[in-house]
Structure 1
Amino acid sequence: MDVEIDVDVEALRALARSLACEAGALVRDGRPERVEVAATKSSDVDPVTDMDRAAEALLRRRLAEERPDDAILGEEGDDVPGTSGLTWVLDPIDGTVNYVYGVASYAVSVAVVAGPPDPGRWTALAGCVHSVVDGRTWTAARGGGAERDGRPLRVRRPDALSRSLVGTGFGYAPERRARQAEVLVDVLPRVRDIRRIGSAAIDLCLLAEGALDLYYERGLNPWDLAAGALVAAEAGAWVGGLHGRGPGAAMTVAGATPVVTELVRLLEDADADRPEDGARG
Structure 2
Amino acid sequence: MTADEPAALRDLALDVAREAAALVRERRVGGATVADTKSSSVDVVTEADRASEDLIRRRLLEARPDDSVVGEEGDDHSGPSGVRWVIDPIDGTVNYVYGLPEYAVSIGAEVAGATVAAVVLNAATGTEYVAARGLGSTRDGVALRVRPSPPLAQRLVLTGFGYRTDVRAGQAARVARLLPRVRDIRRMGSCALDLCHVAEGSADGYVEEGPNAWDWSAGSLVATEAGARFGLLPGGLAAELGETGRKVVIAAPADGWDDFVALLEECGFVGRNPPSEVE
TM-score in terms of structure 2 length? 0.90
Task: Please state if 1:146 is matched with 2:146.
Answer: no
Corresponding position of 1:9: 6
Letter in 2 for 1:132: A
Corresponding position of 2:47: 50
Corresponding position of 1:69: 66
Matches within 5 A, 1:1-281: 5-6=1-2, 8-115=5-112, 122-242=113-233, 249-273=246-270
Cα deviation, 1:251-280, whole Å, max 9, x if unaligned, reads 011111332222211222233246xxxxxx
CA distance in 1, matches of 2:36, 2:229: 36
Percent identity (aligned): 51
Corresponding position of 1:279: none
CA distance in 2, matches of 1:83, 1:236: 32
Q: Is the 8 A contact 1:207 1:213 kept in 2?
A: yes
Q: Is the 8 A contact 2:23 2:52 kept in 1?
A: yes
> Which secondary structure does the structure 1 equivalent of 2:75 belong to?
coil
CA distance in 1, matches of 2:142, 2:161: 30
TM superposition shift of 1:236: 0.4
CA RMSD, Structure 1 to Structure 2 (Å): 1.5
Cα deviation, 1:175-225, whole Å, max 9, x if unaligned, reads 110000110111101111111110011111111010111111111100000
CA distance in 1, matches of 2:234, 2:104: 30
> Which secondary structure does the structure 2 equivalent of 1:127 belong to?
strand
CA distance in 1, matches of 2:225, 2:246: 21
Change (3 A) 1:99 1:12: same
Q: Is the 8 A contact 2:234 2:248 kept in 1?
A: no
Q: Is the 8 A contact 2:32 2:48 kept in 1?
A: no
- Relative to its length, the structure with more helix (as a share) is 2
Q: Is the 8 A contact 2:69 2:85 kept in 1?
A: yes
Q: Is the 8 A contact 2:194 2:206 kept in 1?
A: yes
Unaligned 5+ residue runs, structure 1? 116-121, 275-281
CA distance in 2, matches of 1:214, 1:12: 28
Corresponding position of 1:277: none
Q: Is the 8 A contact 2:9 2:117 kept in 1?
A: yes
Q: Is the 8 A contact 1:243 1:268 kept in 2?
A: no
Count of residues paired in the alignment:
261
TM superposition shift of 1:32: 3.6
TM superposition shift of 1:36: 2.2
CA distance in 2, matches of 1:201, 1:243: 20
> Which secondary structure does the structure 2 equivalent of 1:125 belong to?
strand
CA distance in 1, matches of 2:133, 2:256: 24
Change (3 A) 1:27 1:270: same
TM-score in terms of structure 1 length? 0.90
Q: Is the 8 A contact 2:199 2:223 kept in 1?
A: yes
CA distance in 2, matches of 1:12, 1:107: 19
> Which secondary structure does the structure 2 equivalent of 1:258 belong to?
helix
